[in-house]
Amino acid sequence: MEQLKKHPLIVGTVLLTLSGLISRTIGFVYRIYLSRLVGAEGMGIYQILNPVLAIAFSLTAAGYQTAISKLVAEKSAGQKSTSYSPLIAGILITLPLSLLCTWVLYVFSDFVASALLGAPSTAGMLRMLSFSIPFSSIHSCINGHFYGLKKAGYPAFAQIMEQITRVASVFVLSGLSLAQGHTPSVSCAVLGLVIGEFFSLLVSLLTFWYEYSKSPLSSTERGLPLRQLPLKGILSLALPITGNRIVLNLLGSVENVSIPSQLRLYGYDSSTALSIYGTFSGMALPFIFFPNALTGSIAVLLLPMVSEIKALGNYQELHKTIRKTLRYCLYMGIFFLCFFLLAGNLLGDLIFHSSLAGYFITTLSFICPFLYLDTTLSSILQGLDMTTGLFLINVSALGLRLLFLFLFVPQVGITGYLWGLLAGQVWTCGLYLLCLHRRLKHFGP
C-alpha cells in the first residue's frame, strides 16, 4: 500500500481524477442550468464557438505544454534539482503568440463569425473570448511544468478553481440580467469562461510561486543567458504537435460548423438544426466524456512518465506500465458502454427533460471502449516520439467522420453522423494499437 501511495502515476492520476470529477460534476450542474436558461438553440450557438477556441489553444498552448512536460521530465530524470528553463523558454514563445492571436481574433471577429462560423451574431462573443487566450496559454505552460515533475496536485487545484469561478460568474451575471428584467443570453456563459480562465491563471501563478520558493533556480540556471535556454528544444517538440493540432482542429472546425448545415439539407430549419446540434454536443456528449476524467488524467501523466522511463532505458517497466494502463481503460470502457446503453434514455429524460438527449447517450455508448483507450494510447505514442504517426491516424479518422457527415447526414439525419463517430473511434483505436505494437517490438519483450 505504501508503495502504491508513492507511485507518481497512481498518486497523480488519483489527484487529477478527483479534480476532474469535481470539475465535471460542477460542469454538469452548470450545463443543466445553462440549457434551461438559453435552451437547446442557445446551447448550439455556445458550442459552435468551441472550434475557434480549440484552434487558438492549438496554436498558442497545446504543443508547448506537451513540450515543456516532456523536457522537464527528461531533465529531471534521476536528478534532485528542478529545471525551470523549459518553462521559461515556453512562456517566451507562447506569450507573444497568444497576444497576436488575441489581436487577430478581436479585429477580425466579424469575418470569423459570418464567413467561417455562419453565425454573425457571435461576433461580440468572439471578441470577449479573445481575451482568454493569453490566460490559457500561460496557464498551460505552468501546467506542463508541473506535469513534467509529476506534481499533479497544483494543476488539479487550478482546474477546480477555474470551474467554480466560471460557474459562479455565470450564475451572478444571469441573476443580474433576470433582476433587471432581461432574458440572459449566451454572452453570459462566454464572459464566465473568460473570468474562469483569468482566475485559473492567478491560481497557477500563486501555486508556481509557492513551489519556486521551496526550490528556486539553481546556480546553473540562474546565470543562463537567453541564447542557452532550450528554445530550439521546445520548438522542435512543440511545432510538429502544434502543426498537427492546428490541422486537426481546422478539420474538426469544419466538422462542427457543418453539422447544422448538413441537418438543414436533411430538411430542418436553422433553429431546429441548431437545437439538435446543441442537444448532441452540449447535453449528450458531456455524459459520454464524463468518465474520461480518469483516462484523461492517466494520459496527461503517462506522457512524461513514458518519456522518463524511455530515457532511462527501463523497457521492462515501460511494457508493464502500458499493459496495465490499457487493460484498466478497456475494463472501464466496457462498463460504461453497458451503463449508458441501459440508462441513457432515463438520464436524458431525468437530467435534461429531453428524449433526444437520451437517444444520443444510448447510441454514443458504443464508442466508450474505443474513446477511453484512444485517449490513453495517444499519450503513450506521444511519449514514444510517434507524433507524425498520430497525426496521420487522426487526420484519416477525421476524414472518415467527414465522409459520414457529408454523405449520410443529408440522407438519414444526425444518426448518420453518430455512425461516423463510431467508425472513426474504431479506426483510430485499431491503428493506435498497431503502431504501439510495432514500436514496442524495438524495445524487446
Q: For the chain, what is the mean pLDDT?
A: 82
Contact 397, 371 (CB under 8 A): no
Give the three cell numbers for residue 131. Answer: 481575451
Give the pLDDT of residue 424: 94
Domain ranges for the chain, please list them.
2-441
Say how far residue 246 (Cα) sits from the centre of its chain. Answer: 14
Give the pLDDT of residue 445: 52
pLDDT higher than 90, residue 71: no
* Residue 222, C-beta contacts closer than 8 angstroms, at least 6 positions apart: none
Confidence band, pLDDT 50/70/90 cuts, at residue 250:
confident
Q: pLDDT tens for residues 295-336?
A: 666 665 665 667 667 666 666 777 777 887 788 888 888 999
Q: pLDDT tens for residues 346-380?
A: 988 888 888 999 999 999 999 999 988 888 888 78
Tell me which residue of 14, 301, 377 sits closest to 149, measured CA to CA. 301
Residue with cell 517538440: 237
Give the pLDDT of residue 234: 86
Q: pLDDT tens for residues 169-195?
A: 888 888 888 888 777 788 888 898 899
Give the pLDDT of residue 421: 93
Across residues 228-246, what is the average pLDDT?
81
3-state helix, strand, coil split of the chain in percent (to 5) is 90, 0, 10
Round to whole Å and give the CA distance between 10 and 338.
26
* Residue 216, C-beta contacts closer than 8 angstroms, at least 6 positions apart: none
Give the pLDDT of residue 3: 45
Q: pLDDT tens for residues 121-138?
A: 889 999 999 999 999 999
Round to whole Å and give the CA distance between 63 and 60.
8
Round to whole Å and give the CA distance between 115 and 28.
32
Percentage of the residues of the chain whose pLDDT score is greater than 90? 27
Answer positive or negative: Cα dihedral of 340, 323, 420, 51.
positive
Round to whole Å and give the CA distance between 51 and 253.
5
Look up residue 152 and give its amino acid: A
Cα angle vertex 357, ends 282, 177, to 5°? 45
Round to whole Å and give the CA distance between 324 and 442.
20
Give the pLDDT of residue 413: 92
Helix (H, G, I), strand (E, B), or coil: what is residue 442? Answer: coil
Confidence band, pLDDT 50/70/90 cuts, at residue 6:
very low
pLDDT higher than 60, residue 10: no
Confidence band, pLDDT 50/70/90 cuts, at residue 2:
very low
- Top pLDDT among 229 and 88 is at 88
Round to whole Å and give the CA distance between 420 and 247.
19
Region of poorest pLDDT, from 21-35, 40-54, 92-106, 412-426 = 21-35
Residue with cell 497525426: 391
Confidence band, pLDDT 50/70/90 cuts, at residue 294:
low
Give the pLDDT of residue 5: 45
- Top pLDDT among 248 and 172 is at 172
